[in-house]
Amino acid sequence: MATAKEDLWKTLEDLTGDQFKQFKWLLQADGNDPRSIPVSRLEKADRTDTVDLMVQKYGEAEAVRRSLQVLEKISRNDLAQRLSNTRSNLGLQGIILS
């Protein structure tokens, strides 16, 4: 079974360049959240670096949850659904996306 990091990476690989840029922007958009990843860390991060930063900052389960939220915001519900389905074995199937 793939790890959460591998599933996140595969998901980010399916984003276009512009979608990936939006994804990173939405991760750091809330400057008031102390758990936001600093802009300077995400600015030049590629997909693997972004996954590493997310898992380091949030842990695997929260990184997946935040990814699902961001994917829905950028209208990639297909990827959100696929990620949710692949992670359902970790007990993440009940995640509420708001």
39-70, pLDDT tens digit by residue?
Answer: 889 999 999 999 999 999 999 999 999 999 99
Residue 78's pLDDT band, with cuts at 50, 70 and 90, is very high
Average pLDDT over residues 8-16: 97
Residue 77's pLDDT band, with cuts at 50, 70 and 90, is very high
Name the superfamily (CATH) of residues 4-90.
Death Domain, Fas (1.10.533.10)
Q: What is the signed CA dihedral for 57, 3, 69, 81, rounded to 10 degrees?
A: 180
pLDDT of residue 70: 94
pLDDT of residue 35: 74
Give buried/exposed letters for 45-62 (b at 16+ CB in 10 A, else e). Answer: bebeebbbbbbebbebee
Helix axes 4-13, 77-87, angle to 10 degrees: 160
Answer whether residue 26 shows pLDDT above 70.
yes
For CA atoms 45, 46, 51, 56, give the dihedral sign: negative
